[in-house]
Amino acid sequence: MRFTRLPIKLFLILLLISGIAMLYSCSSSLNVVADYNGDLDFSQYTTYNFLRPHPDSLKKDRAMNPAIINQLNQRRQEAAIDDEMYIRGIPYRKHLTF
């Protein structure tokens, strides 16, 4: 059986396209933005708690972008905040008074 040039060229083009697609799929699609105030004086705080949005507004936010708020990300963020506040000696209060 003898191969012609057309199938080899087609194979090389498909190989090139699949290689580009593989490289493109390795790129990061998330843009992480951090808002941090390094000058914040934590000595003015004595306790902390989390302000959670109303469930109706969560439904609307999730409908627009399901990646915005999900329980797994929320638990991770709160755990990271808990760890940092514990290091700073600021206790969590379940019920806050304003």
Q: What is the pLDDT of residue 80?
A: 93
pLDDT digits (tens, 9 = 90+) for 32-42: 777 888 888 88
Query: Which residue range is the domain that position 92 belongs to?
Result: 51-98
pLDDT at 1 over 60: no
Does the global pTM surpass 0.85? Answer: no
pLDDT in tens, 4-14: 666 888 888 89
More confident: 15 or 25: 15
Assess if residue 62 is contained within a domain: yes
Total domain count for the chain?
1
Residue 65 is assigned to a structural domain of this protein: yes
- Token representation of residue 1: 């059986």
Residue 69 lies in a domain: yes
